[in-house]
Amino acid sequence: MLHRMLQQQMKIEGSVMHGDGYGSTIGYPTANLDVDFTQVSIAPGIYAGRAFWDGHEQDAALIIDADRGRVEAHILDFEGDLYGRHLRVEPLQKIRDYQQFSSEADLIAQIGQDIAAIRHFLGYYVHRDH
């Protein structure tokens, strides 16, 4: 199953650039990818995925936001600085559609739910095959 899934997956890559820093202020920092969004042929949304850089590979929550033309990765269980580094991300499973929230508390609660769903998906479907 994993092999079939990965054969069909898109790879998105670019340099990590500075964003507005909002994710860090709410406890979920993201790596903002400098990509040509016209080359990203995936539906907007929140995805379970993997991130690859400098020989590292880690689980990630991916944000594909067509309206703002951005791709962001919250790399799970990672603390560090990736600015200026080349990062490749591979979306594996869409978790939900992208949406705006009326309050920061609602956003933070939803991010927590998204990350729980992403950990479940990646733990069951990806790491189980290793």
* pLDDT tens per residue across span 38-92: 777 888 999 999 999 999 999 999 999 877 778 999 999 999 999 999 999 999 9
Residue 37 pLDDT exceeds 90 = no
Average pLDDT over residues 105-114: 97
Domain ranges of the chain: 2-129
Q: Is 101 helix (H, G, I), strand (E, B) or coil?
A: coil
CATH superfamily of 2-129: Riboflavin kinase-like (2.40.30.30)
Per DSSP, the residues of 14-76 read EEEE----HHHHTT---EEEE--GGG--S-SEEEEEEEEETTEEEEEEEEEETTTTEEEEEET
Higher pLDDT, 7 or 95: 95
Q: How confident is the model at residue 102 (pLDDT cuts 50, 70, 90)?
A: very high
Spatial separation of the C-alpha atoms in residues 86 and 67, rounded to whole Å: 24
